[in-house]
Structure 1
Amino acid sequence: MVTPSSSTPPHAAASGQHGHGKASLAGLVVGAIGVVFGDIGTSPLYTLKEAFSPHFGLTANHDTVLGILSMVFWALMVTVTAKYVTIIMRADNDGEGGIMALMALAQRTLKKGSRAAYYVGILGIFGASLFFGDGVITPAISVLSAIEGLEVVAPSLHQWIVPLTVLVLLCLFATQRHGTEKVGKVFGPITIVWFASLAAIGVLNLFHAPEVLKAFNPWWAARFFLEHHFHGIFILGAVVLAVTGGEALYADMGHFGARPIRLAWYFFVLPALMLNYLGQGALVLQDPLAIRNPFYIGVPDWARWPMILLATAATVIASQAVITGAFSVARQAMQLGYIPRMRIKHTSSDTIGQIYVPGINWTLAVLVVSLVLAFRTSTALATAYGISVSLTMLIDTLLLAMVAYALWPRWRRWVLPLCLVFAVVEAAFVIANGAKIPDGGWFPLVLGMLLFTMLRTWRRGRELLNAEVRKEGIQLDTFLPGLMLAPPVRVPGTAVFLTASPDVVPHALLHNLKHNKVLHERNVFLTVETLDVPYAPKERRMRIEPIAGPDFHRVIVRYGFMETPDVPVALMRSCDQCDLTFNPMDTTYFVSRESIVAGHRRGMPTWRDKLFAFMHRNAAPATAFFRIPGNRLVELGAQVEI
């Protein structure tokens, strides 16, 4: 069992094996700043403005401003610094992060097939669904809030805000095919300038009211709640905007490693963010009318146009962080069997974790642009933002507590009490954002539930399909000896039959015998399995065993959930383990392509059977996913009722 490292940063273990070894630490830090911190780094554009929106009914007086600044600071320290950056990044699944990796790690602590493992899977999938819901809102609200700076410098340009936002977003999604590595190299320096500008503007405005430095004292946050009683909790619906992006830090850990992300956060990103928040608070204390847009009003007149351009670039980068995380989570979900196979494009020859998933990219693009056209302002979008990310953070905490209890015996005495603190804070965020459900918070919840239904339907449908194939199938070990008593015509070459059940005769073999009445001189029954670790260790990669004589072999190839299977390469490498020989031009691959028929009163409700059948028809063919050449492929259909 691979356990999370307690002393070695995750990226160190991944170096060399997973692709970070060729990159310098400084380069990884710059790349991480460019890709990972974009989301949380653009929160100053709208967080304080939304805290004083009419929705909350607050007055921008001395005590209220200090109270909100204190809540922002301690939310960043507790939720992002303590939980995500310091603790949860140690719960790396062989160097990979994100809620799917954490779920797989938690499930490894439980008995396979147990009810507890089932519920952990439900929890992880629900969290992943909510993560996608958050990923749709982040690009929309970030880019909108940046371009809304036009209203400050030129109110007459108001009508161009939405069209310009849509144009910027379409350009962003169109560039994803070039890959995270290239995007990070371009965005890294821009983001460094962005954070440096945040810090500089914050310091400049701090001179208006230096007493905002008192906000580091948690008493001001406590005093806010004492003065506003129970209703004060609802302000957390705005404070949570300051910590959005914490989950993205963890999800993107596999791209850059934990140490570069930690260094960038501790010594650069966190100080820049807090200086800017404090500067905005000082400006509002001096001029309460500045609360209508404290970020841009705090920028000197001569720098506002350059700042709008820089903010737009920074919000594009903010969207990049979530999109990159979505790609990682999607591949993990694919390999773990929760979503249909999709085409994956590797975008880096050095770093295996950097990928592009066209299906996810353009689905996000359609949803994000639709959100912008529907809500039209960042203030309206803020009412939809927060509930999904709060629930995802809470689920992360529950899974972290399970991992800490089972795998960290030395640390659990202090990690588990901290998990309780995290859970209380995040539960408060969930309650606060729950009040926004009627005003737009319903959107990410509905989207998350739709995705959750699809993911669970796909997982359950695959289980029913495999069970049906096994039930109606013939045992391979008994079929082959009987077949060889009266063998059909033998033809030269090697036949590889892909099958999900290594002990059952593949439908492709039965159809080949029935219709073509021939049998190849060498036959391989190949099953591809996915392990609950990101990368399969060499000793577990492949198992080969002869069955019913030297002409038949059962081969099981295993991959980790962060790997993309390549069956021809795996078979070529198997030549070193036995006397099998694979000549690519002499090998034919046979695959059964099942046609799903919805049955009545069987495994799932009929509507879910039909949904699974639709998803199955539109999934990328297994042959493409396994990189099997089309000119060496024979597909044979089979109808299965579930």
Structure 2
Amino acid sequence: MNNRQALPALTLGALGVVFGDIGTSPLYALKEIFNGRHPVPVTPDNVMGMLSIVFWSIMLVVSFQYVTVIMRADNKGEGGSLSLLAMMTERTKALGLTAIVTTLGVFAAGLFFGDSMITPAISVLSAVEGLEIVTPRLTPFVMPIAVVILTGLFLIQKHGTSFIGMFFGPIMVLWFSVLGLLGIVHIAHDPQILFALNPYYAFKFAIAYPVLTFFALSAVVLTVTGGEALYTDMGHFGRRPIRWAWFGFVLPALVLNYFGQGALLLADQSAIDNPFYKMSPDWALIPMVILSTLAAVIASQAVISGAFSISRQAIQMGLLPRMLIVHTSGEEKGQIYVPFTNWMLFFCVIALVLGFKTSSNLAAVYGIAVTGTMLIDTILIVFVMRLIWDWSWLKTSIVGGFLLIIDSAFFFANAIKIPEGGWFPIGIGLITFVVLTTWLRGRKVLGAEVAKQSMPMDLFIQAIDDVHRVRGTAIFMTSSPSGVPTALLHNLKHNQILHERVVLMTVHTADTPFVKADQRLTYENLGKGFSRIVVRYGFMENPDVPKALTLCEKFGQTFDMMSTTFYLSRETVVPSGKRSVWAMRAQLFRIMSKNATSATDFFKIPANRVVELGTQLVI
């Protein structure tokens, strides 16, 4: 399939995955602007002014910031904060800025996990709340129904999204078509609402009511939530399909719906309690609730799948311990299931629904996660402008400064909601940041401790002439591409033998999403039956050691699994006992290390060919 033929299919797929979050914003965005915690009075001038602000927010944040600028910063086609971090790490070392970039990238990943918890809760709740419009007697059933739907959504994750995914695209095409159609119907009743496309109305409102405008931005941001998902999901579909879908279909449908809701409010101010559902005729309410719920489930699925991808990236980049990753499709390598991430999200999502009870209450939680992510993305993209795109200081200052002003305005407007629930995503971000950086720091300390106890490989080889050799192959897995593995030293110490062929194997994660087949493996003959193999994987790939060993045939080396023994070193971490902040984090690192998935499972090594040798390390 060439690119021209693939574009329509990829565009349809992008509609079903990438735009689910921003596509469900009309369910609650205008309601929160005019009926939320800082309501804007419903008057004709205010409706025109706020619609103008909504339209230009979408154009500046989504169309310009993400679709036009940030999506240019792809790491071999992949997007997202961790992908951006991997791309920037080497570039910032010479400037001494690696720590700053790492901190920003990791915290952005933490905020994304918070977003992955909030989006399912607010999307499904706001969709099911349409039942209250059908009849107020159904109000007590809204929360239980939302809990049941969300529980079912997380239960089916282990089966993969390949089957459900076939329906995602067509359903979202129907969803956006209905959004646009409802908007057109109401705009036709009051076409003057289209004058709000003129930025004059936005400036007029902001100058007349600067304080109210600032508070209103905390609700306006709900119209651009999901914009950051375009960048995160770029690797699944590519820039062109996302841009085509956005400008050709999604953007017009969203704008038409928002302006249709505005026209409805000009005609009937009482519709403010739920303008989205009141756009529909009475006979269409039940079908709209069903369609809205399906769209909300799709939006939720998108961020859940994104959380799985972020988890895998974090594991491969050394930010999380090894965890079980299940491939749910033999054809699509991006379809994975991470049980720990799934159930962590599930319990947090249900807690949010039960704790906040309504979508309006959850709106206070939502904004801070999205605006925090957008602000960090913009800061990182400024580094990209200078270090990778080689933009001039003037051009970087103009474009980067403009984006930072916009994102800062949204962020600080949402910061006032921290006491009302905005603390939740910040708390999740901080917890995730501590966990990820603790594992990163712990692995570095552990690596340094192992290096201290190691010895140079050339000295070791010179000293083994009198050691008894036995038939077979021994592969010693080691994280260091130099020195003698701890497991090898322990095996020689206790068993007093060496195999006739000894392989030192290191699995290395590259700073690119995928590694080409011809760059996957390097082989080095060290002499006296010793050799070193380095296998490289991208941070979007899962290691498969037996499969990688078949690539050694081009070096004249073959491996029979039945005569090959894998030796793994299992380090038992013992905290030093000193009272300090690191001592507490060392305890956390010990717990994480103890509960990590075994290297046998993670590297797909046959369990009956593995010998583990333990050692204690004090950190």
Q: TM-score, normalised by structure 2?
A: 0.97
Letter of the 2:325 counterpart: I
CA root-mean-square deviation? 1.9
* Number of the residue aligned with 1:67: 49
Going from structure 1 to structure 2, the CA distance change for 1:75 and 1:180 (only over 3 Å counts) comes to farther
| Superposed CA offset, 1:47-82 (max 9, x none) | 000011252142100111111111111111111111
* Number of the residue aligned with 1:7: none
1:122-133 matched pairs, under 5 angstroms: 122-133=103-114
1:410-449 matched pairs, under 5 angstroms: 414=395, 417-449=398-430
Shift of 1:630: 0.7
* Number of the residue aligned with 1:541: 520
* Number of the residue aligned with 2:477: 498
Number of aligned positions between the proteins: 619
What SS does the corresponding residue of 2:93 show, helix, strand or coil? Answer: coil
Question: d(CA) in 1 for partners of 2:444 and 2:219?
Answer: 42
* Number of the residue aligned with 1:572: 550
| Superposed CA offset, 1:202-229 (max 9, x none) | 1111133222111111111112221112
Question: d(CA) in 2 for partners of 1:504 and 1:611?
Answer: 28
1:357 pairs with 2:338: yes
Which of 532, 535, 551 pairs up with 2:529?
A: 551
1:214-293 matched pairs, under 5 angstroms: 214-293=195-274
Shift of 1:256: 1.6
1:53 pairs with 2:35: yes
| Superposed CA offset, 1:416-459 (max 9, x none) | 52222211111001110011011111111111101111011010
* Number of the residue aligned with 2:584: 607
What SS does the corresponding residue of 1:385 show, helix, strand or coil? Answer: helix
Going from structure 1 to structure 2, the CA distance change for 1:101 and 1:192 (only over 3 Å counts) comes to same
Moved more, 258-267 or 353-362: 353-362
1:104 pairs with 2:105: no
Q: For the Cα contact (< 8 Å) 1:147–1:165, is it kept in 2?
A: yes
Question: d(CA) in 1 for partners of 2:480 and 2:388?
Answer: 32
* Number of the residue aligned with 1:390: 371
Q: For the Cα contact (< 8 Å) 1:233–1:432, is it kept in 2?
A: yes
Question: d(CA) in 1 for partners of 2:196 and 2:331?
Answer: 45
Question: d(CA) in 2 for partners of 1:603 and 1:569?
Answer: 44
1:628 pairs with 2:608: no
1:532 pairs with 2:511: yes
* Number of the residue aligned with 2:562: 585
What SS does the corresponding residue of 2:50 show, helix, strand or coil? Answer: helix
* Number of the residue aligned with 1:509: 488
Question: d(CA) in 2 for partners of 1:409 and 1:467?
Answer: 36
* Number of the residue aligned with 1:42: 24
What SS does the corresponding residue of 1:638 show, helix, strand or coil? Answer: strand
Moved more, 418-427 or 377-386: 418-427
What SS does the corresponding residue of 1:64 show, helix, strand or coil? Answer: helix
Which of 24, 46, 63 pairs up with 1:81?
A: 63
Going from structure 1 to structure 2, the CA distance change for 1:416 and 1:583 (only over 3 Å counts) comes to farther
Letter of the 1:536 counterpart: V
Letter of the 1:619 counterpart: A
Question: d(CA) in 1 for partners of 2:40 and 2:604?
Answer: 59
Which of 407, 422, 426 pairs up with 2:388?
A: 407
Residue segments in structure 2 that go unaligned for 5+ positions in a row: none
Going from structure 1 to structure 2, the CA distance change for 1:603 and 1:634 (only over 3 Å counts) comes to farther
Q: For the Cα contact (< 8 Å) 2:78–2:513, is it kept in 1?
A: yes
Question: d(CA) in 1 for partners of 2:40 and 2:581?
Answer: 50
1:165 pairs with 2:143: no
Identical-residue share of aligned pairs (%): 51
| Superposed CA offset, 1:262-297 (max 9, x none) | 111111111000100000011011111110100011
Q: For the Cα contact (< 8 Å) 1:199–1:276, is it kept in 2?
A: yes
Question: d(CA) in 2 for partners of 1:202 and 1:283?
Answer: 9
| Superposed CA offset, 1:81-103 (max 9, x none) | 11211222221100111111111
Question: d(CA) in 1 for partners of 2:454 and 2:93?
Answer: 28
Moved more, 538-547 or 625-634: 538-547
What SS does the corresponding residue of 1:639 show, helix, strand or coil? Answer: strand
Going from structure 1 to structure 2, the CA distance change for 1:124 and 1:157 (only over 3 Å counts) comes to same
| Superposed CA offset, 1:544-577 (max 9, x none) | 2122x24001111111111111111111211212
Question: d(CA) in 2 for partners of 1:246 and 1:215?
Answer: 22
Q: For the Cα contact (< 8 Å) 1:251–1:328, is it kept in 2?
A: no
* Number of the residue aligned with 2:615: 638
Question: d(CA) in 2 for partners of 1:407 and 1:33?
Answer: 30
Letter of the 2:305 counterpart: T
What SS does the corresponding residue of 1:277 show, helix, strand or coil? Answer: helix
Shift of 1:410: 6.5
Question: d(CA) in 2 for partners of 1:416 and 1:328?
Answer: 33
* Number of the residue aligned with 1:28: 10
Q: For the Cα contact (< 8 Å) 1:109–1:403, is it kept in 2?
A: no
Residue segments in structure 1 that go unaligned for 5+ positions in a row: 1-14
1:596 pairs with 2:573: yes
Question: d(CA) in 1 for partners of 2:565 and 2:36?
Answer: 68
Going from structure 1 to structure 2, the CA distance change for 1:411 and 1:303 (only over 3 Å counts) comes to farther
| Superposed CA offset, 1:405-424 (max 9, x none) | 22224798656522222111
Letter of the 1:427 counterpart: S
Question: d(CA) in 2 for partners of 1:415 and 1:584?
Answer: 55
Shift of 1:538: 4.1
Q: For the Cα contact (< 8 Å) 1:251–1:329, is it kept in 2?
A: no
Instruction: Extract structure 1 runs of 4+ deviating beyond 6 A.
Output: 410-413
* Number of the residue aligned with 1:520: 499
Which of 69, 73, 97 pairs up with 1:91?
A: 73
* Number of the residue aligned with 2:292: 311
Shift of 1:618: 0.9
What SS does the corresponding residue of 1:115 show, helix, strand or coil? Answer: coil
* Number of the residue aligned with 1:5: none
Question: d(CA) in 1 for partners of 2:525 and 2:544?
Answer: 22
What SS does the corresponding residue of 2:479 show, helix, strand or coil? Answer: coil
Question: d(CA) in 1 for partners of 2:439 and 2:603?
Answer: 19
Question: d(CA) in 2 for partners of 1:604 and 1:162?
Answer: 41
Shift of 1:542: 2.1
| Superposed CA offset, 1:149-192 (max 9, x none) | 00001110111111100111111122223334433212111111
What SS does the corresponding residue of 1:342 show, helix, strand or coil? Answer: coil
1:198-209 matched pairs, under 5 angstroms: 198-209=179-190
Q: For the Cα contact (< 8 Å) 2:505–2:535, is it kept in 1?
A: yes
Q: For the Cα contact (< 8 Å) 1:405–1:416, is it kept in 2?
A: no
Question: d(CA) in 2 for partners of 1:52 and 1:395?
Answer: 29
Q: TM-score, normalised by structure 1?
A: 0.93
Question: d(CA) in 2 for partners of 1:604 and 1:525?
Answer: 36
Question: d(CA) in 2 for partners of 1:405 and 1:602?
Answer: 42
Going from structure 1 to structure 2, the CA distance change for 1:190 and 1:342 (only over 3 Å counts) comes to same
Shift of 1:383: 1.1
1:376 pairs with 2:374: no
Shift of 1:24: 2.6
Moved more, 431-440 or 328-337: 328-337
Question: d(CA) in 2 for partners of 1:506 and 1:240?
Answer: 52
Shift of 1:352: 2.4
Shift of 1:539: 4.7
| Superposed CA offset, 1:354-402 (max 9, x none) | 3222221221111111110111100111111111110111111111121
What SS does the corresponding residue of 2:21 show, helix, strand or coil? Answer: helix
What SS does the corresponding residue of 1:383 show, helix, strand or coil? Answer: helix
